[in-house]
């Protein structure tokens, strides 16, 4: 069997033009599929950036909330009700809203404002500059240094701007785990300052952040909050809810799926046609092998080996190329959201095996019908 596979390898790489064409087809398909699914994975992660950055174990919200940004304010008594539930270690409020800031240059810029609990500052970001205590100073705000930082004219400590006709002062520059999705800078301040500075409806409580005494207490907390008419989700459940919304209730999911299918069809058509041409051009060689004693099973092993070797080589090249492009894009474009995950790699691997399977099936059907008599007669 080792000798048969060695012959298969030499037949495959002997025609460098056909072998290169096969590799290009598979590599291009893997590259496109990986780029599309990685972009989708990056978008989904950034859509839940607030959840990941705050890091609360349980989030209490209105059941109609689909994304972190689409908050539905709750009455203040919900906070006290949650704190009174057995199994709750502590619960704090979180304000989340949007506003316009007027920079020193006179430019208006949309921002997201997160108001942290005044007593604990639970969910505060890690500071790069400044002291967290300064957030209690008059007009104190923290600015997140991410891809959108430059939209605020690259502020420094002490830089001031207007927000809803109130003076705001940058007292700290922070970093977060994940940047936002919609290209809007993020500001942090205290909860009371946020509801004082920004126009709000009758209710101001966007979320209640809960830390349970133990993981076993979470189901009971969820049941009690459900009785209040609201919803409690763990961090992972909230992330999945946001992801599900973008996958199935927006055009984002269907568009990415269509582009991935198109990438698969392109790779399959190129590699399938090229592999079929390769088989046709080597029919005489396969017939000669059959004439000297090679069985049909051994010929099938040869074709499967050739298709598998090409597919796996193309898979490695495609993943490598996609990784280089994504890394290069992130260096030049900080707001670029794509990221390669294990799920992307597994999905691309399954698709490339499918391409190899279909391509080899086309070749197998042709080869097993070969009769040595027909070959030598021709």
Least trusted range by pLDDT, from 124-128, 140-144, 259-263: 259-263
pLDDT: which is higher, 239 or 19: 239
Secondary structure (DSSP) of 227-272? HTT-EEEEHHHHHHHHHHHHHHSSHHHHHHHHHHHHHHHHHHHHHH
List all residues 6 or more positions away from 114 whose beta carbon is below 8 Å from its beta carbon: 50, 54, 94, 95, 96, 123, 186, 187, 188, 189, 194
pLDDT value at residue 211: 95
The residue length of the chain stands at 378
pLDDT: which is higher, 21 or 126: 126
Is residue 63 packed enough to be buried (19+ CB in 10 Å), middle (13-18) or exposed (0-12)?
A: exposed
Average pLDDT over every residue of 288-292 = 75
pLDDT value at residue 121: 94
Q: Is the pLDDT at 192 greater than 90, yes or no?
A: yes
Q: How confident is the model at residue 1 (pLDDT cuts 50, 70, 90)?
A: low
Least trusted range by pLDDT, from 19-28, 51-60, 126-135, 287-296: 287-296
Q: Is the pLDDT at 187 greater than 60, yes or no?
A: yes
Least trusted range by pLDDT, from 8-22, 110-124, 149-163, 206-220: 8-22
- Radius of gyration from C-alpha coordinates of the chain: 29
Residue 23: both structure tokens together:
């590799």
- Averaged confidence pLDDT in the chain: 87
pLDDT value at residue 6: 84
Q: How confident is the model at residue 103 (pLDDT cuts 50, 70, 90)?
A: very high
pLDDT: which is higher, 273 or 323: 323
pLDDT value at residue 113: 94
**Rounded to 10 degrees, what is the CA torsion of 213, 215, 220, 226?**
100
Is residue 246 packed enough to be buried (19+ CB in 10 Å), middle (13-18) or exposed (0-12)?
A: buried
Q: Is the pLDDT at 373 greater than 70, yes or no?
A: no
Q: Is the pLDDT at 101 greater than 70, yes or no?
A: yes
Site of tokens 């092998």:
289
pLDDT value at residue 96: 92
Least trusted range by pLDDT, from 26-35, 95-104, 277-286: 277-286
pLDDT value at residue 356: 81
* CA 146 to each of CA 58, 135, 253: distance values in angstroms, whole numbers, following the listed order: 26, 19, 26
| Chain centroid offset of residue 145 CA | 21
Average pLDDT over every residue of 196-215 = 90
pLDDT: which is higher, 333 or 206: 206
**Angle ∠(208,224,115) on CA atoms, nearest 5:** 5
Q: Is the pLDDT at 376 greater than 60, yes or no?
A: no
Q: How confident is the model at residue 118 (pLDDT cuts 50, 70, 90)?
A: very high
For CA atoms 244, 246, 249, 253, the dihedral sign is negative
Calculate what percentage of the chain has a pLDDT beyond 90.
44
Measured distance CA(112)–CA(187) in Å, rounded: 6
> Is this prediction's pTM over 0.75?
yes
Helix axes 235-248, 251-281, angle to 10 degrees: 70
Least trusted range by pLDDT, from 123-137, 264-278, 320-334: 264-278
Measured distance CA(51)–CA(59) in Å, rounded: 9
């Amino acid at each position: 069997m080792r000798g048969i596979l060695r012959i298969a390898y030499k037949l495959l790489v002997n025609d460098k033009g056909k072998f290169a064409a096969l590799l290009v087809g598979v590599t291009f398909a893997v590259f496109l599929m990986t780029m599309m699914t990685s972009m989708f994975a990056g978008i989904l992660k950034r859509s839940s950036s607030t959840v990941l950055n705050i890091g609360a174990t349980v989030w209490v919200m209105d059941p109609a909330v689909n994304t972190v940004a689409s908050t539905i304010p709750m009455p203040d008594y919900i906070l006290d009700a949650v704190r009174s539930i057995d199994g709750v270690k502590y619960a704090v409020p979180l304000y989340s809203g949007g506003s316009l800031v007027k920079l020193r240059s006179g430019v208006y810029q949309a921002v997201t404002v997160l108001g942290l609990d005044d007593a604990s500052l639970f969910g505060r970001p890690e500071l790069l500059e400044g002291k967290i205590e300064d957030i209690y100073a008059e007009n104190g705000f923290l600015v997140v240094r991410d891809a959108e930082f430059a939209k605020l004219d690259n502020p420094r400590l002490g830089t001031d701007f207007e927000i809803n006709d109130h003076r705001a002062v940058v007292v700290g520059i922070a970093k977060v785990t994940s940047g936002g999705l919609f290209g809007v800078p993020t500001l942090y301040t205290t909860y009371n300052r946020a509801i004082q500075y920004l126009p709000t409806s009758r209710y101001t409580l966007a979320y209640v952040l809960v830390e349970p005494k133990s993981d076993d207490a979470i189901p009971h907390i969820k049941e009690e909050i459900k009785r209040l008419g609201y919803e409690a989700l763990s961090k992972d459940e909230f992330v999945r809810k946001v992801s599900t919304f973008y996958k199935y209730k927006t055009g984002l999911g269907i568009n990415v799926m269509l582009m991935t299918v198109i990438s698969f069809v392109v790779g399959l058509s190129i590699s399938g046609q090229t592999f079929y041409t390769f088989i046709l051009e080597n029919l005489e060689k396969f017939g000669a092998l059959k004439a000297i004693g090679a069985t049909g099973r051994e010929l099938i092993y040869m074709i499967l080996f050739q298709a598998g070797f090409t597919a796996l080589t193309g898979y490695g090249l495609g993943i490598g190329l996609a990784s280089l492009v994504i890394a290069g894009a992130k260096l030049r474009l900080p707001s670029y959201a794509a990221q390669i995950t294990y799920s992307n790699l597994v999905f691309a691997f399954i698709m490339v095996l499918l391409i190899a399977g279909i391509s080899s099936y086309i070749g197998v059907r042709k080869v097993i019908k070969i009769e040595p008599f027909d070959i030598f007669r021709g």
